């Protein structure tokens, strides 16, 4: 039996499979990095939201206090 120099007929299938696997690995890496970035952004947004809630609460209490002071001054006059 002599061996010819041509590739076996199944070899292109393996080349295609290898390329697809490499593409999937690249995609997984990209998605993992994107996911990590989104998780960081989500945490930053939650922290910012909590800070804004605190500022809003402080502003509400300040306005309520000012309104109460105005009511007291109106009653005194």
Spell out the SS3 assignment of 37-67: HHHHHHHHHHHHHHHHHHHHHHHHHHHHHHH
Q: How many helices (H) and strands (E) does the chain have?
A: 1, 0
At residue 19, φ and ψ (nearest 5 deg) are -65, -45
Q: Cα–Cα distance between 14 and 11 in angstroms, integer? A: 5
pLDDT on residue 41: 98
Instruction: Kindly report, residue by residue over 34-75, the tens digit of the pLDDT.
Output: 999 999 999 999 999 999 999 999 999 999 999 999 999 999
In which band, very low, low, confident or very high, does the pLDDT at 1 lie, cut at 50, 70 and 90? very low
CA within 13 Å, CB half, 40: 6
């Amino acid at each position: 039996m002599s061996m010819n120099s041509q590739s076996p007929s199944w070899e292109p299938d393996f080349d295609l499979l290898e390329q697809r696997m490499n593409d999937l690995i690249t995609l997984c890496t990209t998605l993992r990095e994107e996911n990590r970035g989104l998780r960081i952004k989500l945490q930053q947004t939650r922290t910012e939201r909590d800070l804004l809630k605190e500022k809003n609460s402080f502003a509400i209490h300040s306005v309520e206090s000012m309104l109460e002071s105005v009511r007291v001054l109106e009653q005194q006059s």
